[in-house]
Amino acid sequence: MDQAILALEDGSIFEGKGFGARGVRVGEVVFNTSLTGYQEIATDPSYCGQIVVLTAPQIGNYGTSSLDSQSRPWIEGLIIREISPLTSNWRSDQDADAFLKNAGIPVGSAMDTRALVRRLRSRGVMRGALSSQGGNPQELVELARKSPSMAGLDLATRVSTKERYPWTEGVPACSPSELLAAQEAAKFNVVAFDYGIKRDILRQLAHRGCTLTVVPSNTSAEDVLALKPDGIFLSNGPGDPEPLEYQAAQVRKMMGKAPIFGICLGHQVLGLALGGKTYKLKFGHRGGNHPVLNKRTGKVEITAQNHGFAVDPDSLSSTDIDLTHVNLNDQTLEGIAHRSLPVFSVQYHPEAAPGPHDSHYLFDDFIQMMSNYKEGAR
Amino acid sequence: MPRRDDIKRILIVGSGPIVIGQACEFDYSGTQACKALRADGYEVILINSNPATIMTDPELADRTYVEPLTVEFAEEVIRKERPDALLSTVGGQTGLNLAVSLAEAGVLEKYNVELIGAKIESIKKAEDRLLFKDAMRKIGLDTPQSQLCVNVETGEEFAKKVGYPLILRPSFTMGGSGGGIAYNHEELIDILTRGIDLSPVGEVLIEESVLGWKEYELEVMRDLADNAIIICSIENFDPMGVHTGDSITVAPAQTLTDREYQMMRNAALACLREIGVETGGSNVQFAINPENGKMVIVEMNPRVSRSSALASKATGFPIAKIAAKLSVGYRLDEIPNDITLKTPACFEPTIDYVVTKVPRWQFEKFPGAEAVLGTQMKSVGEVMAIGRTFKQSLGKALRSLETGKSSTTEVYDEALIPKKLITPNPDRLQYIRFAFRKGWTIERVQEMTSIDPWFLTQVKQTIDLEESLAGKKLEDLDQVTLRQAKRDGLSDKVLARAVNVTPNELRDHRKSLGVEAVFNRVDTCAAEFESFTPYLYSSYESECEAEPSDKKKIMILGSGPNRIGQGIEFDYCCCHAAYALNDFGMESIMVNCNPETVSTDYDTSDRLYFEPLTLEEVLNIFDTEKPDGAIVQFGGQTPLNLALPLKKNGVPIIGTAPENIDLAEDRKLFGKLLEELDIPSPENGTATSIEEACSVARSLGFPVLVRPSYVLGGRAMVIAYEEETVRRYMQEATLFSQERPVLIDRFLEDATEVDVDALSDTENVLIAGIMEHIEEAGVHSGDSSCVLPPITLTAEERATIEDYTVKLARALNVIGLMNIQYAIKDGKVYVIEVNPRGSRTVPYVSKATGIPLPKVAVGLMLGKKLPELANLLNGQTSGVLPVPKFFVKSPVFPFNKFPGVDPVLGPEMRSTGEVMGVGESFGEAFAKAQLSAGTPLPEKGTVFFSVSQRHKAAAVEVARKFAAAGFSLAATRGTAQAMKAAGLQVKVVFKVNEGRPNAVDLMKAGQLQLVVYTTNGALSFSDEQAIRRSAITSRVPCITTLSGAKAAAEALLSGYRDPVKVWSLQEIHQADASHTTGASV
């Protein structure tokens, strides 16, 4: 059994057992508190550049299923309390260890994940180096300290598709008992900016009658508008939103030309396009239990979240923007909508995957918005 | 949507006595509800017949009624108190049923009482099988297909459609009797025919089998604004086919992908909304076919439940408390999370540990009942354990059970493995472990059990680890190995045995290598936010979050899983110890592992350690907290067993010294003490062999009482009327040894038994209560009804009892509580047993006297003298506390859950709970107690007598009373002759073996309304059993002692329903109220 070592930039060392691929990786160490969905997390491009700590202690129990991947595995490394030696689920086509190993991702198991999370919570996220094959802890600390900081890093470009591609596949049922409406016939052409898009966002939109064209993150507004979209989608993605000036500029040019809906990084890019500012959270929001108040309905949604940066609501105060959603844990901004233009976005993940489905209605809202816009244009 | 101001007074309905399936989890939920609503300024009126609960403490409600949970009595409470609303959802099924009955009887409308929590329509939709199925179909959820059959043909058709196996449940039969699983046509016809015959309405429900499917539960909450959240997901280790209450369950769910979990979450929320539960908590159960993911909804409970108590303890999210707040209009996002303080309760708890619940069964108390598990719950209690991994939590849970068994010493039979694996039973997990030890594969075990291979893998890994240690030496156990073993949940005891050292040596070695337990917090959020509540569990991680304070503090050891003989009464004492410590300015530290209790609510003590009550785990806490003392006399036998070992390890035990507690149990030393004090006890002896036992018995003279030393609840006691019984007992009882001999007492036949609870500071002794048993000696004190004040004792007898009690308390240097059992025969008082500790009757006596006994006891343990605590005692510090009315405590039995068991009372305790009746006469109090116990006395009809020869004379007198109360009499030939001779009108009835129609036939035909049946000693013939069993199935009350029958007759003559009268405890003790205010001393 190989020893696993996680070294943080503050010099702290966590030891465990190595699984997955053997090797050393560096990244920003962040934690996610979801009880389910390790596979979706591991394959979410928003985690590019990050070593993810899962607080749920038993990982790998149900293996992995190709249907559940959100992209290819993007995390730099995985830190868990205990990996399952066996897969138990009828949907599984590969065990979790092999899945991560094949993707070249090292795993540190048998780690004291709670102590690690407490450290990250009190000191904020830190850079770290994970070895799944032993080594000198002090050298790993040095490696962590030398690794690039997340702030100012444009990772969206790195994870984005290089070529545009179409998407029409809806949401596949996970059980004969799942209550799932039939997929709508294609009605809307939607262009989706891929800043690191998750497959389940595409599926949710396609399921509701969208024919999608996924375009690289650096696609120009002109190229997008040339596709005559009924709607434009700004995806989630990794890293710091601030370097995405070009993307923000394109969004600014497209506002009012077609309905725009943004999620997560897409929300931040929209915020920047509207003249807002973003800032880094101490340890981010990553999990499936964050309460978000929809200020328009007064109802609370339990949401899936994955972000390390946020839009500063004060920076939007002079703009023509409604602050529509707020996080009840820390009062951070979770959603905005333009007062006159068909433009809105949320910081959290309505597609969930993993997480509760309380916010699926936002996709319906987008469809409604496109429908209204089409009506109005006619 | 803030707090409702239009309601001011709220009636809360409790769940009544502890029965199988409805235990102290409802004391926990009711207590939380009372506290939450009062904290919010509402006046709370409570009705609950169970005096052993914390919720019925006068401080918890504005008005507390310990009265029968019937429409009649509840209406009187409502008439008197005029509540604005009734909260129906925190009192279990009993509370819900009473709320529905009150609504249906028009009482709520008449007095303009609003039902809050759940509305009638929702309750009905959830509880009625057919309405529920329709509702679920409407929202597209599958339920197992089913069909009500009144004839065999309908059943056959259904079977053709659905296929086998099928589950059959006859309607309205007690204990699910007559039901079963049909695997083929032949069995279907067989069970169906029998079921239709057995069902009083001739109806059997046939259901599609989901046996072997994975079973899950979700705990859901919703507020009036339609915000809905999942508090906890629970996965059953035992698949469908075993009642959830009898299943090992695990939180969070372990083998669901996110997609599947979210599907289930969506279904649970849809169900909640369709049923229309507007506010509060509900529980939704699902089954999933492991082959293809097909999901069916099994049932939902529109109220807090056993599972919600478990979920609350498992996550730190107090479901009942929040449910109470939601019921008065609050929204989830308006209520703060208790633990993080900064975030709202509107979120879904996430946990970074694994919680395992394991049930505790006691089939050994019910000979004749088959020890198998099915769709009806049989367990009497449960434990919960928290670990960082499933393996760790399972290991901790198993040692929390205190079965006295340990996997490495028990003898298992390899030939039995298949049987023990295929049919669920209490030993199944032990047999799975055994099978792995014998080299069985996961596949093979899975085939026989249908248990998910993930769980089986975890069990096997633990076994493999244990096996890998065999043959090693202590020094082979290096730091890495030991840490791994501890992280996987192995106890020091198991490790010590593997390397052949004592647990203490192992502990020292382990600590010398730095492998020490640390404590993590239960914080609802997996450490994402800071926790301000010290709710802790041990692990072998890298940092300790206990952060002990430097205040003066005392550790209270709880009583572990509920068992017959050790239940809620002890939890009551432990909770009070915590409250009292605060009153005396000390910090309280609670240690317990029972998730149902109030004591394991993090609100009860300053610091809560949810840990097994083993020496190892308690010492870990001691090492971390360094408390100034430990209280062991409140938790029953569990902490007492630890007292001496703890003391040896340096833990200061406060109160009566453990040595003196032990002395009272040591037959020889205690006998000597009694001699010195000149206090008589029944002649007795001890034996360590069969021959010795027989000779002791012969010399004492029959009948004799034979029992093992050191047991609570009268385990394995027998009254022997002849040598053969002694011989058989000694052959079957394996519990005796040189250190633990069998105790043999001369049995005082037909003596009156008396229980005494007293408080002592070694000099001053205050007798809190002299309780006279209704049933004569020979019936276990826990199974006997008793009355305060005593009704037949003479002044001399009372004086003698007082005198002996004071002498014994002083002689044993009792500091705190003590309990003594006396027997009185022919005017002579004998001491039967002395227990220098809190007893089962403490809460009952506290309620009857209005004096909080445990609180006073804590003051004494902290070194105060009784006179210093006079303000808690209405100024009285000696003599006997007065009681302002008659208070009868009656037991409640689980016989209907164990078909085939003889329900006769004896020296082995078998009741699971108790009720209290209050009255201005003994008869009234007794009648109310019987009503509360679920054995209401008939209003009119025929009383059937069959009594043994020596009871004939007394039976005549009792019969005369019944006749005076307007009853007709019937009796077996011998008894009837005696009655006729005394001039009574009586009908002669055949015994079962004499011909027909016999007593059983008449009972079935509804011609007998009450049965009085006494036996000659411990022997009970099949004939007599048939009558008693039939009484249970026909729901005819059956009294098995003559003194009980006499009490019943007096009750009937008391006119207790004309009119119905109720008193709140506050009213009863009003006169004292001015004295008892002000807790501090």
Give residue-wise pLDDT tens across range B41-89.
999 999 999 999 999 999 999 999 999 999 999 999 999 999 999 999 9
Tokens 């003279």 belong to residue? B701
Identity (one letter) of the amino acid at B369? A
Length of chain B: 1081
Residue A272 in contact with partner chain B when CB distance is under 8 A: no
A168 CA to chain B: closest CA distance, Å? Answer: 20
How does DSSP assign B431-487, residue by residue? HHHHHHHTT--HHHHHHHH---HHHHHHHHHHHHHHHHHTT--GGG--HHHHHHHHH
Residue A208 in contact with partner chain B when CB distance is under 8 A: no
Residue A371 in contact with partner chain B when CB distance is under 8 A: no
What are the tens digits of pLDDT across the range A164-177? 999 999 999 999 99
Mean pLDDT by 10 residues, chain B (1081 residues): 90 95 93 97 98 96 97 98 96 92 97 94 87 93 90 93 88 68 91 84 87 96 96 97 94 97 97 93 95 94 93 97 96 94 95 98 88 89 98 97 68 90 95 96 97 98 95 94 97 95 96 97 96 96 97 97 94 97 97 97 97 98 98 94 95 95 85 95 89 92 83 67 86 64 87 96 97 88 93 96 97 97 95 93 97 97 97 95 96 84 83 96 95 90 90 92 94 92 93 84 90 69 71 80 90 89 95 40 32
The reported pLDDT for the residue numbered B177 is: 66
- The nearest alpha carbon in chain B to A298 belongs to B225
CA–CA separation, B1006 and B942 (whole Å): 10
Going by the DSSP 8-state scheme, the letter that residue B1064 receives in this structure is: B
User: What residues form DSSP beta bridges with B889?
Assistant: B786, B916
Residue A2 in contact with partner chain B when CB distance is under 8 A: no
B412 CA to chain A: closest CA distance, Å? Answer: 28
* Closest residue to B454, CB basis, from A61, A91, A353: A61
Neighbours of B157 (CB within 10 A): 12
Q: Is B91 helix (H, G, I), strand (E, B) or coil?
A: coil
Name every residue whose Cβ is closer than 8 Å to that of residue B549 and which is 6 or more positions away in sequence: B587
Question: Could you tell me the strand order of the sheet in which B249-251 lies?
Answer: B295-301, B280-288, B214-222, B228-236, B249-251, B354-360, B381-387
What are the tens digits of pLDDT across the range A41-67? 999 999 999 999 999 999 999 999 999
CB contact under 8 A, A302 and B348: yes
| Residues of A in Cβ contact (< 8 Å) with B295 | 175, 177
The reported pLDDT for the residue numbered B1076 is: 36
Residue B349 in contact with partner chain A when CB distance is under 8 A: yes
Residue B544 in contact with partner chain A when CB distance is under 8 A: no
The reported pLDDT for the residue numbered B776 is: 78
Name every residue whose Cβ is closer than 8 Å to that of residue B123 and which is 6 or more positions away in sequence: B88, B96, B99, B100, B302
Residue A116 in contact with partner chain B when CB distance is under 8 A: no
Question: Distances in Å between the alpha carbon of B69 and those of B106, B169, B783?
Answer: 16, 28, 21
User: What residues form DSSP beta bridges with A190?
Assistant: A212, A231
A140 CA to chain B: closest CA distance, Å? Answer: 20
The reported pLDDT for the residue numbered B908 is: 85
The reported pLDDT for the residue numbered B1022 is: 59
The ipTM, to two decimals, is 0.98
Residue B513 in contact with partner chain A when CB distance is under 8 A: no
Residue A290 in contact with partner chain B when CB distance is under 8 A: yes
| Residues of B in Cβ contact (< 8 Å) with A89 | 255-257, 260
What six digits make up the tokens of B60?
Answer: 């918890």
Question: Distances in Å between the alpha carbon of B176 and those of A80, B38, B200, B897?
Answer: 46, 40, 13, 8
CB contact under 8 A, A329 and B347: yes
Residue B452 in contact with partner chain A when CB distance is under 8 A: yes
Among residues B267, B342, B741, the alpha carbon closest in space to that of B533 is found at B342
End-to-end CA distance of chain B: 43
Q: Which of residues 311-340 of B touch A (CB under 8 A)?
A: 332-333
* Closest residue to B255, CB basis, from A55, A56, A62: A62
CB B845 within 8 A of CB B769: yes
Q: Is A32 helix (H, G, I), strand (E, B) or coil?
A: strand
Name every residue whose Cβ is closer than 8 Å to that of residue B334 and which is 6 or more positions away in sequence: B1, B2, B344
The reported pLDDT for the residue numbered B1074 is: 41
CB contact under 8 A, B262 and A357: yes
Query: Mutating which of A17, A35, A65 best tests the B interface, going by the most B Cβ atoms within 10 A?
Result: A35
Q: What is the largest CA-CA distance in chain A?
A: 68
Among residues A39, A172, A29, A194, the alpha carbon closest in space to that of A102 is found at A39
Residue A129 in contact with partner chain B when CB distance is under 8 A: no
B529 CA to chain A: closest CA distance, Å? Answer: 7
Question: Distances in Å between the alpha carbon of A173 and those of A91, A209, B294?
Answer: 11, 17, 11
CB contact under 8 A, B527 and A35: no
CB contact under 8 A, B527 and A121: yes
What average pLDDT does the segment A285-308 reach? 97
CB contact under 8 A, B293 and A86: no
Question: Distances in Å between the alpha carbon of B270 and those of A175, A204, B497, B600?
Answer: 17, 20, 52, 32
Q: What is the largest CA-CA distance in chain B?
A: 86
Neighbours of B678 (CB within 10 A): 8
Residue A297 in contact with partner chain B when CB distance is under 8 A: no
| Residues of B in Cβ contact (< 8 Å) with A85 | 457, 461
| Residues of A in Cβ contact (< 8 Å) with B526 | 33, 55-56, 114, 117, 287
Residue B900 in contact with partner chain A when CB distance is under 8 A: no
Helical pair B319-327 and B25-39, crossing angle rounded to 10 deg = 50
Angle at B526 between CA B523 and CA B532, to 5 degrees: 30
Phi, psi of B777 (to 5 degrees): -55, 145
Name every residue whose Cβ is closer than 8 Å to that of residue A331 and which is 6 or more positions away in sequence: none
| pLDDT for A69 beyond 90 | yes
CB contact under 8 A, B258 and A40: yes
Query: Mutating which of A65, A121, A300 best tests the B interface, going by the most B Cβ atoms within 10 A?
Result: A300
What six digits make up the tokens of B500?
Answer: 């052949």
Among residues B549, B27, B459, the alpha carbon closest in space to that of B254 is found at B459
* Closest residue to A58, CB basis, from B354, B527, B541: B354
Share of chain A above pLDDT 90, in %: 96
Residues of A serving a catalytic function are: 264, 349, 351
Going by the DSSP 8-state scheme, the letter that residue B54 receives in this structure is: S
Helical pair B667-677 and B795-811, crossing angle rounded to 10 deg = 120
How many A/B residue pairs have CB atoms within 8 Å? 194
User: What residues form DSSP beta bridges with A287?
Assistant: A305
A86 CA to chain B: closest CA distance, Å? Answer: 7
| Residues of A in Cβ contact (< 8 Å) with B229 | 302
| Residues of B in Cβ contact (< 8 Å) with A299 | 225-227
CA–CA separation, A149 and A124 (whole Å): 13
* Closest residue to B259, CB basis, from A68, A112, A291: A68
| Residues of B in Cβ contact (< 8 Å) with A31 | 528
Identity (one letter) of the amino acid at B682? P
Residue B257 in contact with partner chain A when CB distance is under 8 A: yes
The reported pLDDT for the residue numbered B999 is: 87
Characterize the bridge pairing of strands B85-87 and B114-116.
Answer: parallel
CB contact under 8 A, A177 and B457: no
Residue A354 preceded by cis peptide, ω within 30: yes
Q: Where are the beta strands (DSSP E) in B110-248?
A: 114-116, 146-149, 166-170, 180-182, 204-208, 214-222, 228-236
A271 CA to chain B: closest CA distance, Å? Answer: 26
Name every residue whose Cβ is closer than 8 Å to that of residue B5 and which is 6 or more positions away in sequence: none
Residue B546 in contact with partner chain A when CB distance is under 8 A: no
CB contact under 8 A, A81 and B352: yes
B314 CA to chain A: closest CA distance, Å? Answer: 14
Identity (one letter) of the amino acid at B91? G
Phi, psi of B733 (to 5 degrees): -80, 120
| Residues of A in Cβ contact (< 8 Å) with B140 | 179
Among residues B87, B110, B76, B101, the alpha carbon closest in space to that of B35 is found at B87
The reported pLDDT for the residue numbered B1077 is: 35
Name every residue whose Cβ is closer than 8 Å to that of residue B1058 and which is 6 or more positions away in sequence: none
Residue A89 in contact with partner chain B when CB distance is under 8 A: yes
